[in-house]
Amino acid sequence: MRRIVTILALGLLAAGAASSALAASVPNTLKQRIKACTACHGEQGGGGQQDFYPRLGGQHAGYLFRQLREFREGIRAYPVMQYMANRLPDDYLHEIAQYFSEQNPPYPPVAQNTFNPALIVLGRQLTNQGNWRTGVPACEACHGPDLRGTPPYIPDLLGQPIAYIDAQLGGWAAGTRGPKGDVMRWVASDLSQQDIRALDAYLATLRPPGQSHVSLLKPGYQQPRPPVESRVYEFPNGAWGR
Amino acid sequence: MKRLLTALPVLIAAWVLALPAAAATGATASGSAKSQQQLIKKGEYLARAGDCIACHTAPGGKRFAGGYALPTPFGTLYTPNITPDNEYGIGQWSFDDFYNALHDGVAPGGVLGGHYLYPAFPYPSYTHIKRSDAKAIWAYLRSLKPVHYQPPQNEMEFPFNIRQALIGWRLLFFHPGTYKPNPKHSKEWNRGAYLVQGLGHCGACHTDHNFLGAKKEGDYLAGGAIPVQNWYAPNLTSNQRYGVGGWSKQEIVQLLKTGISAKNATFGPMSDVVHDSLQYLNDKDLDAIATYLKSLPAKDEPEPPDHQELSKEQRQILYSMGQHLYARHCSECHQPGGEGVKSIYPPLKDNGAIIARNPVDPIRMILQGGFEAPTQGNPRPFSMPPFAQILNDKQVAALATYIRQSWGNDASPVPPSLVEKYRTINMK
């Protein structure tokens, strides 16, 4: 008992010493240290559904670390993130990645979108089956049937804002995201404008089971029309206004 | 046979004579290998002090292989490969070639023909480097693994793409000469002056430049606008208001070593300098630098080029708006009295970078925030959120005005038009 008391006392002393080393007015926590991250991504990494900021909470730590490193090395181009990650050491990036991977922020409700339902159908078809004509593989093939990704590096696709998904597919196609040889680069460059819009629309509506706010994913959902590929590809450019 | 007989003693004699010689060479070889190692180590340290790596390494590229895009007001330069690669690096160079580049800003002849180097390579500072130090740096660079990589071609605009044009610039602004110790000062002071003026090339940013990109020598280290990068490098003289007059030597050393001290934190390009270079200097050299800086006579700040007058009413509106915004967004970390949190969040009160005549630093820090320099002494730095995404130009101007005019700070207000200018620039 006495030993426990001593240990406790020592522990308190150590804690006291640690907190007095830092000024009392800010907590010495990672959350406090990374205010630059949470200003946009949210304290739990929930992102912004109406904005551009991706959801980081619950994402695989390996994937998040790799993205941070690629920003730091200029392999993934986005000025704000390149500036933020500039010269931060790997250990710290790991710690930040780990922090966000352990969060579980609520999923925001799906924004009511005005997309042509056919676009959703095409998006789902690409996601589940790919397009053998253009050589685009199904997203499922790597990201898994539930699209939750595969640790460490293949990301969870659920809950990202539509503008973010759109920019990533565009970034891969344009070569401003990921190293040369990254599989997403050639996948994205084989996507048409319609494909990208369709994937944006579809992926942005997805939520994990039990969190679904739209009827699209529920069993028994009736498609507005059958997914006739030729018909889907007849849609003119520019018809997909937001 | 007879010939062979004559040859034999000669051969034997030669062999006998060669023995001690060989032994002697062996001894020097191992001795020189050791001193060579020491020389390389010294060179590595000096190359750190000169921060060669910062410009001669592209983001994500191999160390010292060049290819870093260096924007200048006259076009973009791509830094050369300084690994000992025979084709793309300095593999074919002699020590004299290297010394001429450092000391005179002239690249060696050969296939390309000798040419003048652009002063973006800070040879107006490196000219002060001692030949013996240059030898050590040379030994270090030669010890690197050659990288077979060709940096992109320079994209300089006419007429700056004509290197001969540099003759005039050199005549006007370049004064070659190794550092001459000042006998009136201590050894420590002289070491500090040597590091600051030479390898450290602090004046490249902390001294204002004229329109041709040359340092205004009269304003040496009195603060300078960094062209193209759009940051302001604060005053380093003993000026109480703007410079390090109110800093202790220890606080200067602390900042250079860890990126943060009780007086301020580094940000922007200075964080890179601390990360890549200064954190590796030993305490003796950092002390020497602090001694030298503390001895610099106080100089006033250069006047910023675009100075827009605001009416009294405009100033009042900005100030009260800023006061409101400060309480909401800033005071949690920087404290209501602007004193910050010691060695975590820098004070805004009496901070030379905040009240500098040129207000670009506070404007940009509010817009883009960022992490403090990650260093061995601060490997998990604290950070500041960016505000560009939630505050408009007028709000940022109001905040900058408020912090420049509170708690005894009495700097000029910040017009919203200036914020607009910095919102759209390259962040780095």
Q: Which residues of B touch A25 (CB under 8 A)?
A: 335, 341
Is A121 in a helix, a strand, or coil? helix
pLDDT digits (tens, 9 = 90+) for A119-172: 889 999 999 999 989 999 999 999 999 999 999 999 999 999 989 999 999 999
Residues 289-348 of B with CB under 8 A from A: 333, 335, 341-342, 344-345
What's the confidence (pLDDT) of residue A236? 32
Contacts with A37 from chain B: Cβ below 8 Å: 383
What band does B209 get if pLDDT is binned at 50, 70 and 90? confident
Q: Tokens for B333? A: 């970390």
DSSP annotation of B107: E
- pLDDT(A2) > 60: no
Rounded to whole angstroms, the Cα distance separating B122 from B49 reads 13
CA proximity to B424, closest of B382, B396, B404, B402: B396
Contacts of B329 in chain A (CB under 8 A): none
* Residues within 8 A of B (CB atoms), A 9-38 only: 22-23, 25-26, 30, 32-38
**Alpha carbon of residue A163 to chain centroid:** 12
Confidence class of residue A49 from pLDDT cuts 50, 70 and 90? low
Residues of B in contact with A47 (CB under 8 A): none
Question: What's the rounded Cα separation, in Å, for the pair B233 and B208?
Answer: 9
The C-alpha of A33 sits at a distance from chain B's nearest C-alpha, in angstroms, of 4
Nearest-by-Cβ selection for B379 from A25, A83, A89: A89
Look up residue A206 and give its amino acid.
L
Residue A43 contacts B, CB cutoff 8 Å: no
Look up tokens 């002390």; give the residue: B287
Q: Which of B60, B369, B379 sits opposite A74 (nearest CB)?
A: B60
Q: Is the CB of B370 less than 8 angstroms away from the CB of A83?
A: yes
Residues from chain B contacting residue A92 (CB–CB below 8 Å)? 374, 379-381
**Could you tell me which chain A residue has the CA closest to the CA of B424?**
A79
- B/e letters for B83-104, b = 16+ CB within 10 Å, e = fewer, are bbbeebbbeebeeebbbbbbbb
CB contact under 8 A, A86 and B369: no
A80 interfaces chain B, CB cutoff of 8 Å: yes
What does the pLDDT read at residue A71? 95
pLDDT single digits (tens) A106-115: 888 776 655 6
> A83: which chain B residues are within 8 Å (Cβ-Cβ)?
368, 370, 427-428
Element containing residue B72 per DSSP (H, E): strand B69-72
Residue A220 has pLDDT above 50, yes or no: no
Q: Any long-range contacts for A206-215 (C-beta under 8 Å, 24+ apart)?
A: A206/A147, A206/A157, A206/A158, A206/A159, A207/A107, A207/A110, A207/A158, A207/A159, A208/A107, A208/A146, A208/A148, A208/A158, A208/A159, A211/A106, A211/A107, A213/A109, A213/A110, A214/A110
Does the pLDDT at position B131 exceed 50? Answer: yes
Mutate which: B383, B425, B426, vs A, most A CBs within 10 A: B383
Residue-level pLDDT at A20: 43
Is residue A235 over pLDDT 80?
A: no
Chain centroid to CA B428 = 15
Label residues B240-266 b or e (16+ Cβ within 10 Å = b): ebbbbeebeeebbbbbbbbbbbbbbbb
Q: What CATH code would you report for A30-106? A: 1.10.760.10
- pLDDT digits over A81-98, tens only? 999 999 999 999 999 999
B344, B345, B386: residue with CB nearest A39: B386
**Interatomic CA distance for residues B333 and B382, integer angstroms:** 11
Rounded alpha-carbon distances, angstroms, from residue B364 to B40, B251, B368: 40, 24, 6
Cα–Cα dist B347/B406, whole Å = 12
Radius of gyration of chain A (CA): 22
Q: Which fold has domain A117-241?
A: Cytochrome Bc1 Complex; Chain D, domain 2 (1.10.760)
Residue B20 touches partner A, C-beta closer than 8 Å: no
| Candidates A36, A75, A82; nearest CB to B384 | A36
User: What's the rounded mean pLDDT across residues A53-70?
Assistant: 96
Identify the H or E element spanning B328: helix B312-329
Higher pLDDT, B238 or B166: B238
DSSP string covering A31-67: HHHTHHHHHHH-TT----SSSSPPP-TT--HHHHHHH
Count of C-beta atoms within a 10 Å radius of residue B107: 21
- Interface touch A30/B426, C-beta < 8 Å: no
CB contact under 8 A, A73 and B60: yes
| Interface TM-score (ipTM) > 0.85 | yes
Give the one of B335, B382, B427 whose C-beta lies nearest to A25's C-beta. B335
DSSP string, B216-244: -GGGTTSBEEETTTTEEE---SS-TTTSS
Helix ranges restricted to H, B51-186: 52-56, 95-104, 123-126, 131-143, 166-173
CB contact under 8 A, A33 and B368: no
| Higher-pLDDT residue of B199, A230 | B199
Q: Does B269 touch chain A (CB under 8 A)?
A: no
Q: What is the per-residue DSSP string for B161-203?
A: T-GGGHHHHHHHH---------TTS-HHHHHHHHIIIIIT-TH
Residue with tokens 């990533």: A168
pLDDT beyond 70 at B158: yes
Q: In the predicted model, what is the mean pLDDT of chain A? A: 80
* Highest mean pLDDT pick, A193-197, B12-16, B163-167: A193-197
Cα–Cα distance, A63 to A97 (Å, whole number): 8
Q: Residue B370, CB half-sphere, CA atoms under 13 Å: how many?
A: 30
In DSSP terms, A150 is beta-bridged to A154
CA distance B70 to chain A (A): 15
Which residue in B368, B370, B374 is closest to A89 by CB distance? Answer: B374
**Could you report the per-residue pLDDT of B381-413, keeping only the tens digit for each?**
999 999 999 999 999 999 999 999 999 999 999
B389 part of contact set with chain A, CB < 8 Å: yes
In B, which residues are within 8 Å of A38 by CB distance?
Answer: 385
DSSP state for residue A225 in the 8-state scheme:
S
Of A32, A74, A84, the CB nearest to B371: A84
Distances (CA, A) of B221 to B13, B101, B224, B262: 67, 24, 8, 21
CA distance A86 to A68: 9
Write down the domain spans for chain A.
30-106, 117-241
A88 touches chain B (CB under 8 A): yes
Contacts of A36 in chain B (CB under 8 A): 369-371, 383-386
- Residues B321-374 pLDDT 10s: 999 999 999 999 999 999 999 999 999 999 999 999 999 999 999 999 999 999
Q: What is d(CA B139, CA B99) in angstroms, rounded to the nearest whole number?
A: 12
Q: Which residues contact A81 (CB under 8 A, 6 or more apart)?
A: A68, A71
Pairwise CB contact (< 8 Å): A87 & B373: yes
pLDDT higher than 70, residue A43 = yes
Of residues B341, B379, B385, nearest to A35 (C-beta): B385
Q: Is A30-106's fold the same as A117-241's? A: yes
Q: What are phi and psi of A44, to 5 degrees?
A: -105, 10
